Structure 1
């Protein structure tokens, strides 16, 4: 290249916002022919139709196949040759443009996890003078990609058609479901670590279900599910790790969107996002406001065998939970050099909640003689907020693609609430009035650094260090009304001041080796973990120290470009959190109280999986065998005293075992219909000789999502999920079925969509459990009683990079 040519080339790159000249490898050098250790390299050449002359400086954009969002790109050199480096596995399109030529869209560019170099060959541009009738090419990326130690689920339009937030997206992900409170589960079990862009979700707030409902679904690019995570991830999360990856803007200019959702029973949601990029500077921001009203009912029927005579207790309760949520974030990134990028961000969330409940409680003898009856109502008002600030630094080194990343984050949050209890009964001592004042303050510091060191073009070592400090101060004051003095008096017997802090120091190392057909990743993480528990009100404190070792192993055998078989193993640890440890006794429901257990020990789980996958563009299948085993599982235990009062707390009860067969698949039927489904048959066991528990059960679960393209730019989808019965401590949790549907239409030249959706169509999301011990038998039900119906409108503005398929 001449000096003038290189100057024009560099200026073109800068103007469109892709790689600068120094970042694009020269294909004439040996480095240009090697695979980047960060991903796959795509190369090709752009020529003119009719004479095969090179089209110099043509713009080549790499787009996600499903929504045509630009993920990367490059500018061809003077000879028409281009290179796009560091491409992760997935399904893409190439869009080639140049002044005076017709735009060319190359469909079906599939990048497999084991790919090194993809040559798309010669791409031919037609001049505008010979342009034919316009042809619009649209495609969807492969829904599922099976990487060496995780399953990547791309968020396509079938998932978005009935989804307004991340919480609704997760229910459609293979092996993932939600519990009655909206917390994610993997294969029917909780204790899941949720990350957002690789960072702890706690950076966005303390209440995970609220965080997931605050993230709009259309901002999510993909969801990574790790049922047997590698040592690169923290050992927490006995059931697995979920990493929610947001979309990144790489095109120049300004673009964004606004959205509004109107729901029945006074449920509303509105928000927007905007991205700006010019030269080396990029800014993105989003905000969301929501009002949610959830109505519920609860039923408990219990036989108590401990008293002199068997007693029968029943409760029927109803309630309403109101949440007013605000969520906002802003991020800034700047390219310091060709290889170094720094970014900073600020996240803020605010939650105002009003919860009301009413319950009728009856205790009778076996002969149906009334012993006591009382009704109890509660009114709670509270406010919480969370502020997070972070800085990220990313440095690439020219030699052998070495990469250094660093993250520093500080989070501060708090909440306070006041609750009034009024109780009336048929006995004098059942006439009770109480007040509960809660105050919580949290602080967290998070430091993380990772280094990628390519030993050879096919062997890589990754090392990392992480430090995390948390403090959590809780004050729970109960006041009891004195009918003689006609005033509230502090009750120290049921009040509590609890201070908790922890410090985590951890480091990991993984080694990855890839050949044409084989891949292996082996790793180990060592963690030094310290907890300080301080029962302030009784001046008791103690420290706990744990040193844990978390190994992992993943082996893959490539059978074809799309098919592979893999064997994974990982050891996980579930450390008790502050809520589980806090010995405060919650008497909000006086016959069904709960308390913490400061003597809890960590739970260690061994996870193994043998799987096969074959995911192509129009169909895919992924069967696997899995096994989870823990010998000191943390489980909620319920005991009953001779007065009929039940107490729930977490304890290390004994052995938990789950094993079975799981399969997911997707299939496109013609151009109009696509079906995604997953299911499993499994055995769950909970056994503890000390607690006299021996529960073993076979079960099955599954979901299916049907997606249909309709005329006039309408799209519809329907989703059904069934989560089968599962053995739990002291009994079993019964199966649950959920059905959702939705339809959406594009308008305003595909810049806007209007959609209608119904969640829990049949009001079948009813959580039932059956417990049976020598001292009691209990059946319980918890169910949300309002079917959610939403009407949503979304509008996108700014530069439209290509024909989008998400309208």
Structure 2
């Protein structure tokens, strides 16, 4: 039999797969042998095959709690079929033994007494399958939510995959996570979220996060980790939290993969494929995806100008459409030198192009309603970019399975460019104009990471790491006005900008974890030396910023039962200004609402605390918590207005921002027909700044719900609803947003294929409204996507695994 080492290792840590009665073979019930010990019992045994009694090498041996069949430990037999488990707590258990080409075996009634030292289970016999497997499809479904000491782990099950084309679709289904109108992730309704991919910064894959998330096919994702109070191990950035997107690492010997094709209205189509091959110590995996997208929108804005002696009203109404295409590909090679040393190298490529059009009518009237200024502004923009990322990962395991050293490095380089043409039509000659904007951006970054994990004792672990990240960004924005007499475009240096940006981050962290039968603790500290070099080339102004930050974290847990616990978490976060926030370029694409960066921004520091309870079992569970976020130097967008009624929006440090409330997530299976998961929260949000004359405070509520329903004839239906309630923002209030999606799917071809039909934004309710009120103006704005997305998707999975022969 082939030694399916890596598949078995994967199965050791998986949540148990539901098996039919026919898949459980007969089992033996050996009498335990016990003797006194202090630190727990030790289970030993040997796995052999029937009828020859030959040793079964590299079989997976999982120790399951008798109460709920949850995995408590797991090992793999050696070349002689022998296994051993140490430090087994007192209790009742059963063993589950699996290996390719054999029937799954359960050994029940294993009892470990508090005085037990050694339990010898003797020889355990596996029965070979009648026929060797030619095709393998692993269909185990993990519990959706797992509550770790400092994060929530959301496993991506087949239902979520069948109703999701890309990572953006997945994130909307994750408790406490939502997307804003631009596709950027939010946690608890707030932005400033750090998004990682396999623990690495997402900007290594490109500069535009929404495009990156839309490029990643959903079926490449294994799980999503959400950290609302991250430990010191993770980047100190992200005032709202950290999202780590973990991709699948296939270790199955042989070949497996899948293809996915989706057709949608408004030119929303996608296609993707992935394949993995492994023979012996060498594994190769590759994936490729492409997507075309289209979206239409409408917007309105009404702003009353109170700063001038004569009150005026600006009314904007407009429509537009955004379309684009992107492609994402990656290839990876991993090699296991031996059981303790693994090397993986990979390359990712992403490319995108976009086209945006808008038609915006601007009318300014006086107090009597007389329109004294009117013009229509037409915008036609195109853009594109490419990004390459190269990465290398090395892992060294020591004698203890948790004792390891990892080294990771990534280098990324990319470029993007674009051009916009503006035509302004008006009956007033002075308002008529033609303009052109040319954009060019070049960037590169280097990421180096080392981690060392040392189990000091069986229940205490020390982890330390060093991080280095260096990046550079050169951004050129050139603006031209057409000369009415010559018809030639002339460069406008007043609103053009060449901006150079460099940063270097050097970080060290250390965490200490201690676990007992009831208590768990993880304390950590991250020290970051951060350097920024800002070069406003156009203005011949150059300066540097340097600061040292300390980010402590503490997490405490106390078990209340087999699957329930309470926890208390604290973390300090820092939000450093991004390059776009610092760039002083003035965006005049909307001449009545201009935007600019602020090179004088300072970092924002946030204190985050959370106290919660969780109880997750295979059939479901819930995790209520109380939370509080406090920042005394919040970075937010501020809008000011001049006497002519033109507003300027830029980021600034405004003052105190506070959010606190109650939140819970849950998942529940109701029989074999219905599966529910979701989250909800009630919270208070406050933004207060004496300097900016801001005092906004409001109570609100938000929540989402996913339902998956099993129907006859292998049909399954799903529904998703999300509501983000109103909240206080700087200078006003953002109204609530409601979204509803639905889908239906059917398995085909002996469950190797799935066809699904999905509708997003069923009621066209994805509308973003805000109301701003200051001493100088009052403004109401509304932006809404106007096309409902309908998608038909076909997915096919394949896998061919040899079940005989020796390792290559």
Instruction: Report the TM range for the smaller structure's normalisation.
Output: 0.7 to 0.9
Give the Cα–Cα distance (whole angstroms) in 2 for the partners of residues 554 and 514 of structure 1: 12
The alignment status of 1:436 with 2:437, answered yes or no, reads: yes
69, 73, 76: which is aligned to 1:74? 76
Task: Report deviation, 1:204.
Answer: 1.2
Aligned to 1:727: 728
| Distance of aligned partners of 1:137 and 1:239 in 2 relative to their CA distance in 1, 3 Å threshold | closer
Once the two structures are superposed, residues 538-595 of structure 1 have per-residue CA deviations (whole angstroms, 9 ceiling, x without a partner) of 2111011111010000001011120010000000000001100001000000000000
Give the Cα–Cα distance (whole angstroms) in 2 for the partners of residues 580 and 41 of structure 1: 58
Once the two structures are superposed, residues 47-77 of structure 1 have per-residue CA deviations (whole angstroms, 9 ceiling, x without a partner) of 779x9x96731663589x9xxxxx9983466
Give the Cα–Cα distance (whole angstroms) in 2 for the partners of residues 236 and 630 of structure 1: 13
Contact 1:158–1:706 (CA under 8 A) maintained in structure 2: no
The alignment status of 1:96 with 2:95, answered yes or no, reads: no
Aligned to 1:490: 491
Aligned to 2:719: 718
Once the two structures are superposed, residues 72-104 of structure 1 have per-residue CA deviations (whole angstroms, 9 ceiling, x without a partner) of 98346646647799xxxxxx99562476x5455
Aligned to 2:457: 456
Task: Report deviation, 1:156.
Answer: 1.6
Contact 1:258–1:272 (CA under 8 A) maintained in structure 2: yes
Once the two structures are superposed, residues 125-158 of structure 1 have per-residue CA deviations (whole angstroms, 9 ceiling, x without a partner) of 4566899xxxx99763211111000001111233
Task: Report deviation, 1:312.
Answer: 0.8
Give the Cα–Cα distance (whole angstroms) in 2 for the partners of residues 141 and 801 of structure 1: 26
Give the Cα–Cα distance (whole angstroms) in 1 for the partners of residues 730 and 9 of structure 2: 56
Alpha-carbon RMSD across the aligned residues, in angstroms, is 3.2
Contact 2:47–2:56 (CA under 8 A) maintained in structure 1: no
| Distance of aligned partners of 1:19 and 1:155 in 2 relative to their CA distance in 1, 3 Å threshold | closer
Aligned to 1:340: 341
Give the Cα–Cα distance (whole angstroms) in 2 for the partners of residues 677 and 43 of structure 1: 42
| Distance of aligned partners of 1:34 and 1:777 in 2 relative to their CA distance in 1, 3 Å threshold | farther
Alignment of structure 1 residues 260-659 onto 2, 5 Å: 260-398=261-399, 401-659=402-660
Aligned to 2:776: 775
| Distance of aligned partners of 1:779 and 1:98 in 2 relative to their CA distance in 1, 3 Å threshold | closer
Partner SS for 1:230 = coil
Contact 2:760–2:789 (CA under 8 A) maintained in structure 1: yes
Give the Cα–Cα distance (whole angstroms) in 2 for the partners of residues 726 and 429 of structure 1: 41
| Distance of aligned partners of 1:191 and 1:137 in 2 relative to their CA distance in 1, 3 Å threshold | closer
Structure 2 stretches lacking a partner, 5+ long: 11-36, 65-72, 88-93, 111-117, 804-808
Aligned to 2:59: 60
TM-score (norm 1): 0.88
Give the Cα–Cα distance (whole angstroms) in 1 for the partners of residues 301 and 727 of structure 2: 19
Give the Cα–Cα distance (whole angstroms) in 1 for the partners of residues 130 and 373 of structure 2: 91
Once the two structures are superposed, residues 13-51 of structure 1 have per-residue CA deviations (whole angstroms, 9 ceiling, x without a partner) of 37887679xxxxxxxxxxxx9999xxx9998764779x9
| Distance of aligned partners of 1:625 and 1:197 in 2 relative to their CA distance in 1, 3 Å threshold | same
Give the Cα–Cα distance (whole angstroms) in 2 for the partners of residues 269 and 752 of structure 1: 17
Give the Cα–Cα distance (whole angstroms) in 1 for the partners of residues 121 and 643 of structure 2: 76
Give the Cα–Cα distance (whole angstroms) in 1 for the partners of residues 453 and 446 of structure 2: 24
Partner SS for 2:59 = strand
Give the Cα–Cα distance (whole angstroms) in 2 for the partners of residues 386 and 106 of structure 1: 52
| Distance of aligned partners of 1:253 and 1:761 in 2 relative to their CA distance in 1, 3 Å threshold | same
Contact 2:162–2:754 (CA under 8 A) maintained in structure 1: no
Contact 1:706–1:719 (CA under 8 A) maintained in structure 2: yes
Once the two structures are superposed, residues 352-375 of structure 1 have per-residue CA deviations (whole angstroms, 9 ceiling, x without a partner) of 111111111100011011110000
Partner SS for 1:265 = helix
Alignment of structure 1 residues 40-59 onto 2, 5 Å: 46=47, 56-57=55-56
Structure 1 stretches lacking a partner, 5+ long: 1-10, 21-32, 66-70, 86-91, 110-116, 803-807
Task: Report deviation, 1:624.
Answer: 0.2
How many residue pairs match? The answer is: 750
Partner SS for 2:602 = coil
TM-score (norm 2): 0.88
Partner SS for 1:160 = helix
| Distance of aligned partners of 1:484 and 1:77 in 2 relative to their CA distance in 1, 3 Å threshold | closer
Once the two structures are superposed, residues 600-631 of structure 1 have per-residue CA deviations (whole angstroms, 9 ceiling, x without a partner) of 00000000000000000112010000000000
Contact 2:74–2:85 (CA under 8 A) maintained in structure 1: no
Aligned to 2:18: none
Contact 2:4–2:100 (CA under 8 A) maintained in structure 1: no
| Distance of aligned partners of 1:792 and 1:123 in 2 relative to their CA distance in 1, 3 Å threshold | farther
The alignment status of 1:257 with 2:261, answered yes or no, reads: no
Give the Cα–Cα distance (whole angstroms) in 1 for the partners of residues 556 and 8 of structure 2: 35
Once the two structures are superposed, residues 736-779 of structure 1 have per-residue CA deviations (whole angstroms, 9 ceiling, x without a partner) of 01000111111111111111000111000000000000110101
| Distance of aligned partners of 1:79 and 1:597 in 2 relative to their CA distance in 1, 3 Å threshold | closer
| Distance of aligned partners of 1:326 and 1:608 in 2 relative to their CA distance in 1, 3 Å threshold | same
Partner SS for 1:537 = coil
Give the Cα–Cα distance (whole angstroms) in 2 for the partners of residues 182 and 119 of structure 1: 56
Aligned to 2:697: 696
| Distance of aligned partners of 1:661 and 1:591 in 2 relative to their CA distance in 1, 3 Å threshold | same
| Distance of aligned partners of 1:93 and 1:649 in 2 relative to their CA distance in 1, 3 Å threshold | farther
Partner SS for 1:761 = coil
Give the Cα–Cα distance (whole angstroms) in 1 for the partners of residues 442 and 658 of structure 2: 37
Once the two structures are superposed, residues 217-247 of structure 1 have per-residue CA deviations (whole angstroms, 9 ceiling, x without a partner) of 1221111000000000110001000011111
Aligned to 1:13: 3
Alignment of structure 1 residues 204-223 onto 2, 5 Å: 204-223=205-224
Give the Cα–Cα distance (whole angstroms) in 1 for the partners of residues 760 and 506 of structure 2: 43
Give the Cα–Cα distance (whole angstroms) in 1 for the partners of residues 329 and 139 of structure 2: 33
| Distance of aligned partners of 1:643 and 1:35 in 2 relative to their CA distance in 1, 3 Å threshold | farther
Task: Report deviation, 1:322.
Answer: 1.1
Task: Report deviation, 1:426.
Answer: 2.5
